[in-house]
Amino acid sequence: MKRTTLREVAHTRSGEKGRGSNITVIAYDQKDYALLRAQVTVDAVKALYGAITKGSITRYEAPAIGALNFVLEDVLEGGRTRTLAFEESGKALSSLMLTMPLDVPDDYVERAKRPGNPPIQAPLKSNAGKKVRVGSASAWSRDRFEPAEDLVARGNIQYLGFDAMSEVTMSALQMARMDNDKLPPYDPNLEIRMEPLLKPCKEKGIKLITNSGWLDPVAAADRIVAMGKRLGIPDLKVAAVCGGVLTDRIADLGLKFLETGEAISDYREDIVCAEAYMGAQGIIDALKQGADVVITTRVADACIYLGPLAYEFGWDLDDPSLAAKGMIIGHLMECGAQACGGYFADPGYKDVPRLEDLGNPIVEVTADRITMTKLPGSGGLMTEATCKEQLLYEVQDPARYLCPDVIADLTKVAFRQIGEDEVEVLIDDAGLPKTPTLKVLVGLKEGYMTEEMVIFAGPGALKRAELTKHVLQKRFARVNMKAEEIRWDYLGLNAVHRESSPALPADPYEVILRIAVKAKDKREADKLRREIDPLAVNGVAGTGKWGTSTPGSRVYPVIGLNSVLVPRELAPMSVVMRGGGAAAKVA
């Protein structure tokens, strides 16, 4: 046997899930799964991440795709919207996993010496009957704009989905609305995304579906109808799918937070928002009424794709097998370019052609076949490996992936490369009945945060940064800063993997000292900048400053997110039609 690292045997991906993170480990070669299963254990992962994981570590298995899924609880220091960590999303945690040592046979050929394209296999399913083609235009509110127009122009699609309202997006917009209540109660990028698409989509019969409606889908629908009239589409029919906004009554339902067990009513004065993850039925109802555009409240991302498929094929969402099939397809599509090589490239290990010009995914579905592909001639790649990473992305127990319309068993999914940039998805009766409750995210006012950075380079950079930290600690004490938490990071040394970062072999040439502060009172948080700015004349030698020309305060409010399960009957859904001469509401 010889010693190598996990990077030579498997690829990884990580993402956030509340206060924790999931890290997926996938064998490049299916036959190496046994090697991963034996050596990539909870204890081995704990040895790597134990310094920053405050909760438990659980391992789940997905043998059909040669993968392990690790859930690290309390590794994000309270969750993405409230952590002071420099890398807030948990997305970079997976790169630490690649350093894990592994024992392999003496004749084992490492990945760096054998990168290559996956072998092409024959399709297993027939391709008869009705075909539905759906494109994925965006993964979140601030995703790229160009893929949508390309998909409409040459994707030969019938539906185009836009995911917009991620948890972090909703939190950021709530913070913005706290400062400016004139901001729209829907995705601020809605109009700029839709304007170039409405006319060509109407002409081609392509339906647009998005969860951009957020707090007020009706206002968003009215905006699109007005835009359609301006563009010469007076008969544009827009459906607003409403429901799930429980902000005004969540504190009166006698419920407790899942994370802490505390009564929500105890936080009544701090509640900013409460929004449920809704299912796909409203989208189905909207399409039945002939909507050209469907704008929803916060439906679960995958439902944007489940909805049109269930409508086209007449699937009953009470059939777990069919609902799971649609949810899994939606989960593969919801993150846009990630299925086509976005967030995948690792030079020499996972090479992605023309990463700058990624083509977003298209799924073609028949009664008995599912094929994932991408725009012809575009950059990126669609492979089994990209699909496997997306399948387990931000998933906890893959055998029980909880969705509004079904519990999906992702361990019953497999992939076959049946052509260049063409992957067949095989789903084997992967559904369990939906739960009686819906997940609701509750946003709470939790004070204020701010951060500052000071920059050092040349000989003694780290020692000068450490001295600056010492000086600031003394000065914070002198001004009696009342901070709930202060975080010190050295960018380039330990800011991403924090206390789990390996020791450096030599002093760095450049160091950035980052200081982040959380406080209940905005004035206390603002003391950070008042002590940072004077370092320009009374700090250590060669101190550089980040953002010196920016005036005013960089303090921003914190909205912490907690979850609760709400009986689904307390979050009904309705459809309001706008445009096309319609003004009806359907329960």
- For residue 549, name the pLDDT band (cuts at 50, 70, 90): low
My answer on whether 39 and 69 are in the same domain is yes
DSSP 214: T
Instruction: Quote the pLDDT of residue 378.
Output: 95
> Where does a domain end: 113, 148, 175?
113
Per-residue pLDDT reduced to its tens digit, 156-190: 999 999 998 777 777 777 777 777 777 888 898 99
Residue 418, in any domain of the structure: yes
Question: What pLDDT shows up at residue 581?
Answer: 62
Please indicate, yes or no, whether residues 78 and 143 belong to a single structural domain of this protein.
no
Q: Same domain, yes or no, for 104 and 138?
A: no
User: Which of 61, 78, 113 marks a domain boundary?
Assistant: 113
Whether 257 is in a domain gets the answer no
Residue 254 lies in a domain: no
Closest CA to 387 of 328, 434, 440, 446: 328
Angstrom distances, CA of residue 454 to CA of 249, 417, 513, 536: 45, 49, 5, 10
Distance, in Å, from the CA atom of 513 to the CA atom of 239, rounded to the nearest integer, reads 50
pLDDT digits (tens, 9 = 90+) for 26-39: 999 999 999 999 99
| Confidence band for 79, pLDDT divided at 50, 70 and 90 | confident
> Does 406 lie in the same domain as 451?
no
Please write the tens of the pLDDT for every residue from 327-369: 999 999 999 999 999 999 999 999 999 999 999 999 999 999 9
Taking 70 as the threshold, does the pLDDT of residue 540 lie above it? yes
Same domain, 13 and 61: yes
Which of the 8 DSSP states describes residue 390? H
- Whether 543 is in a domain gets the answer yes
CB-based burial, 524-563: b 16+ in 10 Å, e otherwise: bbbbbbebbeebeeebbeebeeeeeeeeeeebbbbbbbbb
- Token couple for 333: 């599509």
What's the pLDDT score for residue 548?
A: 63
Read off the pTM: 0.94
Q: Do 165 and 363 form a contact (C-beta atoms < 8 A)? A: no
What's the whole-number average pLDDT of the chain?
93
When pLDDT is averaged across residues 486-512 and rounded to a whole number, the result is: 93
For 241-284, how does the pLDDT look when each residue is reduced to its tens digit (9 = 90+)? 999 999 999 999 999 999 999 999 999 999 998 999 999 999 99
Listed residues 58, 78, 113: the one ending a domain:
113
Work out the pLDDT band at 208, boundaries 50, 70, 90. Answer: very high
Do both 452 and 340 map to the same domain? no
CA torsion sign, 177 to 180 to 185 to 190?
A: negative
- Nearest alpha-carbon partner for 28 in 335, 415, 349, 474: 349
Residue 326's domain spans which residues? 132-248+276-430+572-586
416, 460: one domain: no
The strand pairing partners of 416, in sequence order, are: 424
Position 464 scores a pLDDT of 96
204 & 331 share domain: yes
377 shares its domain with 231: yes
b (16+ CB within 10 A) / e for 119-156? eeeeeebeeeeeebbbbbbbbbbebeeebbebbbeebe
Q: Which run of H or of E encompasses 418? A: strand 413-419
Residue 138, phi then psi, degrees to nearest 5: -155, 155
- Assess whether 417 and 496 both reside in one domain: no
pLDDT tens-digit map of 358-411? 999 999 999 999 999 998 899 999 999 999 999 999 999 999 999 999 999 999
Q: Are residues 508 and 475 in the same domain?
A: yes
Domain membership of residue 259 (yes or no) is no
3-state secondary structure at position 416: strand
Residue 271 lies in a domain: no
pLDDT of residue 297: 94
Instruction: CATH number of the domain at 556, please.
Output: 3.30.70.2750
Question: What is the mean predicted confidence (pLDDT) over 3-21?
Answer: 94
Cα–Cα distance for residue pair 501/85, rounded to 1 Å: 14
pLDDT tens string 37-47: 999 999 999 99
* Res 584 pLDDT > 50: no
Is 298:244 a contact under the CB 8 Å cutoff?
A: yes
Structural domain contains residue 76: yes
Where residue 155 falls among pLDDT bands split at 50, 70, 90?
Answer: very high
Domain count along the chain: 3
In a domain, 264, yes or no: no
pLDDT value, residue 587: 47
Scan for tokens 């009986």, then name that residue: 567
pLDDT digits (tens, 9 = 90+) for 88-131: 888 999 999 999 999 999 999 999 998 777 889 998 878 778 99
Instruction: Specify whether 151 is located in the same domain as 238.
Output: yes
CB 137 within 8 A of CB 162: yes
